């Protein structure tokens, strides 16, 4: 089971990256690292492949004492007439949770809002992500959190 969990983890990380590359045909334009507090809580990395598309990967710990990783492909847009520091996003991704025994695999649909602090390399954001566990059982879940990202390039 450990080998299959590792294979699923690698797949969850590489699939959104491949989708992002295929969608834009570009090299990464921005890269940031950050923290997220919520369900799950942990470390977050984000890579923008173009002005409106990104891959978001989180390695975290669930409040249920599980290690969890998520990987999402996200599409960004500005919010109507709001200042350009505000953007909203939606996406599609997957997650892998590893409790004490077997792994849990599922899909998620993140929806969030991001604020870029003017004259800084820092964003703050909030996200809600309805999720559907598909392995080993089918079960509805909810992920969400508040985060901060420091843009390194």
Judge contact between 48 and 24, C-beta under 8 A. Answer: no
φ, ψ for residue 74, nearest 5 deg: -125, 145
Is residue 73 a contact partner of residue 92, using CB atoms and an 8 Å limit?
A: yes
- Residue 26 banded pLDDT, cuts 50, 70, 90: very low
Residue with tokens 């602090």: 117
The C-alpha atoms of residue 116 and residue 102 are separated, in whole angstroms, by 39
Tens-place pLDDT, residues 27-41: 557 999 999 999 889
The more confident residue out of 57 and 51 is 57
115-133: average pLDDT: 96
Please report, for the chain, the start and end positions of each structural domain, with discontinuous segments joined by +: 2-151
Q: Tell me the average pLDDT of the chain.
A: 85
> Would you tell me how many other CB atoms lie within 10 Å of the CB of residue 72?
26
Question: Among 2.40.160.20, 2.40.30.10, 3.20.20.70, 2.70.150.10, what is the CATH number of 2-151?
Answer: 2.40.160.20
- Cα atoms found within 13 Å of the Cα of residue 120, Cβ hemisphere only: 11
pTM beyond 0.85, yes or no = no
């Amino acid at each position: 089971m450990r080998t299959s969990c590792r294979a699923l983890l690698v797949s969850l990380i590489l699939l959104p990256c491949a989708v992002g590359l295929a969608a834009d045909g570009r090299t990464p334009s921005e890269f940031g690292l950050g923290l997220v507090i919520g369900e799950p809580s942990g470390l977050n990395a984000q890579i923008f492949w173009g002005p409106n598309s990104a891959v978001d990967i989180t390695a975290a710990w669930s409040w249920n004492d599980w290690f969890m990783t998520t990987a999402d492909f996200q599409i960004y847009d500005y919010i109507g007439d709001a200042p350009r520091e505000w953007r909203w996003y939606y996406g599609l991704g997957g997650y892998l949770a590893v409790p004490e025994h077997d792994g849990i695999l599922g899909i998620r649909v993140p929806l969030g809002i991001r604020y870029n602090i003017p004259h800084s390399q820092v964003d703050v954001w909030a996200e809600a992500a309805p999720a559907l566990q598909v392995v080993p059982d089918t079960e509805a879940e909810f992920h969400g959190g508040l985060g901060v990202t420091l843009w390194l390039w």
